[in-house]
Amino acid sequence: MANQSTGGDTKHIIQIPEIKFTKLFINGQFVDAVSGKTFETIDPRSGEVIARVAEGDKEDIDLSVKAAREAFDHGKWPRMSGFDRGRIMMKFADLVNENVEELAILDTLDAGKLFSGGKTLDIPSSANILRYYAGAADKIHGETLKMSREMQAYTLREPIGVVGHIIPWNVPSTTFFMKVSPALAAGCTMVVKPAEQTPLSALYYAHLSKLAGIPDGVLNVITGFGSTAGAAISSHMDIDKVSFTGSVEVGRLVMQAAATSNLKAVSLELGGKSPLIIFNDADLDQAIQLAFLANFWNKGEACVAGSRVYVQEGIYDKFVKMAAEKVKMWMVGDPFDPQVHQGPQASKEQFDKVLSYIEHGKREGATLLAGGKTCGNKGYYIEPTIFTDAKDDMVIVKEEIFGPVMSLMKFKTVEEVIERANNTRYGLAAGIITNDLNLTNRVSRSIRAGVIWVNCYYGVDNDCPFGGYKMSGFGRELGLHCLDQYLQVKSVVTPLYNSPWL
């Protein structure tokens, strides 16, 4: 059984700040929802209310889109040089760093994320995403074309317009900036809807954007529910592009709404059921570390979690024994405690969903090696759970669980594991652990997924495009490729008369 921490004295060490921002951010101002309605945001450590937040819906989306449209059609942001946009974005990033502790606290309170990880990784890396695209803002350019007849032509890369961003709850700060940063660099204006489970840090970022000098109307944040505010973004006739990260089911609804409204451009980063393949020649200590990282980082609430772990038969039994020993040292508890490895699931809904999948695994005949139970008397804590002897047709192997549940499976040959790894509707990521370069090349080229991590996991970087194949979505976050999602390509052609050359 995993150890549980109550947080020890950290409750007295970490000073929980007053929640400063709970209203909608429209056209540079914090305002109440038109309806006056609010909703509760819940602390997953206890199930208690953190604050009440403005509940935006269609009328509020309309107001924010109107502000964004005015800022795009007549405002300064698209008409600034890329250099000047970049300078403001750099200031925004500096302000994020200056407030790193308070922002990390907000994501811990809202999402149950480890405070130590937020302070040292999530929030600083979010600021660095801003800096990356700030540096790209003045390097967006077209091409001179070589026409086949007496014409001169070139391309322009123009901002796509007003963008709607719908972001998830599992990594609220990182995904906020993965979407907002390239859109800002491109010269777009936008409406951001954070997940209803994790609204607090997005509102704080809206405040910092104003301090940084981003003009009113460029960045608007509407808190609310997907079925109302999110649906209004997807179907809005004056939004030019929507970027969504979340489930396949909601991704379908976003696409349908975009198609039946103004055929706006869509990019989707959806679910995953990623394979982690461990070959006989792997360093077992490294393999165990990476398997735990792939499955239990962020309490398994990751779209790229490597929850289908295929271990070659020559090392399978030893790997199982090592995993059973390591999980005993895995500490679950208060995410403010620096000794803790895993905090609570982000919501009661997700807590119940994970537990139901664990019951599925038991009923279908997988062997429960470790975990499988809740921790403590309050909050949404679940033990890290490992199943062995899992089968590819089991629900726990086929469906995305989004929780701390690892399924171990044995394989014999390379051909077999490639076929099994690809036998999924998803294609977001995969991991390979081997010291054989030829094997690495073969398997990485054979697996249909958007990113392949070799002898590492979660190798996410600002310059590395991230996105999926198949039902994991389309479009890419991060890297310079991401800018293309927020730019239109326009060709300009003029005739040439009496040119001495073509």
The catalytic residue positions are: 269
How does strand 265-269 pair with strand 473-474? antiparallel
Which residue type sits at 451?
Answer: V
DSSP string, 359-418: HHHHHHT-EEEE--SB-SSSSS-B--EEEES--TTSHHHHS---SSEEEEEEE--HHHHH
Q: Output the six-digit token pair for 417.
A: 């594991």
CA dihedral 74, 78, 84, 89 (to 10 degrees): 110
**Distance of alpha carbon 310 from alpha carbon 388, whole angstroms:** 10
Burial class from Cβ neighbours inside 10 Å (0-12, 13-18, 19+) for residue 187 reads: buried
Residue type, 377: N
- Classify 407 in phi/psi space as left (phi over 0), alpha (psi -120 to 50) or beta: beta
**Pairing of β 385-388 and β 367-370:** antiparallel
* Nearest C-alpha neighbor of 385 from the set 377, 399, 374: 374
Percent of the chain that is helix, strand, coil (3-state, to 5): 40, 20, 35
Name the strand (E) or helix (H) holding 310.
Answer: strand 308-312
Kindly give, in sequence order, each residue whose CB lies less than 8 Å from that of residue 236, ignoring residues fewer than 6 positions away.
Answer: 61, 62, 65, 164, 261, 262
Q: Are 40 and 54 in contact (CB under 8 A)?
A: no
The two three-digit tokens of residue 154, written as one number:
């070139």
Residue from 122, 475, 481, 480 nearest 269 by CA: 475
Q: How far apart are CA 300 and CA 302, in angstroms?
A: 6
